[in-house]
Amino acid sequence: MLIVDDCIISDNIADVRFACDLSRCHGACCVEGDGGAPLEADEVAILQDIYPMVKPFMEAGGIAVVEQQGVSDLDPDDNHPCTPLVDNRQCAYAIQDSGLTLCAIERAWQAGKVHFRKPISCHLYPIRIEDFGEFKAVNYHEWDICRCAVRKGREEGLPLYRYLREPLIRRFGQEWYDELSSQCEAFLAERKPSTQRF
């Protein structure tokens, strides 16, 4: 494992190869699964503030859910805030465009309507962060719907920590990322990349 500040980081953040391939997965991570995207406590307030600007980019089903139950929900497993779902499946902020599932929040950000790009858990995926108080666990969430991303990452020789450079800096800062990068490079110099099933 790798350690940066109060974070314990799984080795596969360094040696897994990964690059999203929307042309193949079509954004399935916004549709599949058994819960909404995890939200930080401050992100709930942010979503409440920006919802009027995001709403024009949303689909009718998502709007109906948000206006009925609010901009967030509670995960039944850990009682933490998450994005609400449409029909217990698709994220309320997910939209369909030319066969791809995209994010209405990010669309509003791209249009310059809001300054919030999207929840950090979405930006960081497939990295998941668990906060245990004294330390945080930074892990790779392996999911079969991302097998095409693993294949593309292998083809491009792109380690996960480099692919997610921007959201990692957004979450932890440049200095933290630089230290992570240094440790990952040292780790990879000593060890061949792990064998991935996909």
Percent of the chain with pLDDT over 70: 96
pLDDT digits (tens, 9 = 90+) for 55-88: 999 999 999 999 999 999 998 777 899 999 999 8
Segments making up each domain of the chain, as ranges: 1-18+134-198, 27-125
Give the model's pLDDT for residue 194. Answer: 52
Query: Could you tell me which residues come within 8 angstroms of residue 137 by beta carbon, excluding any fewer than 6 positions away?
Result: 7, 8, 10, 129, 130
Are 135 and 3 in contact by the 8 Å Cβ rule? The answer is no
Alpha carbon distance 84, 37 (integer Å): 8
pLDDT band (50, 70, 90) for residue 192 = low
pLDDT over threshold 70, residue 197: no
pLDDT of residue 129: 93
Residue 47 pLDDT exceeds 60: yes
pLDDT bucket at 158, cuts 50 / 70 / 90: very high
The whole-angstrom separation of Cα 113 and Cα 107 is 9
Amino acid at position 177, single letter: Y
- Burial label for 55, CB within 10 Å (0-12, 13-18, 19+), is middle
pLDDT surpasses 60 at 196: no
Q: What pLDDT shows up at residue 112?
A: 97
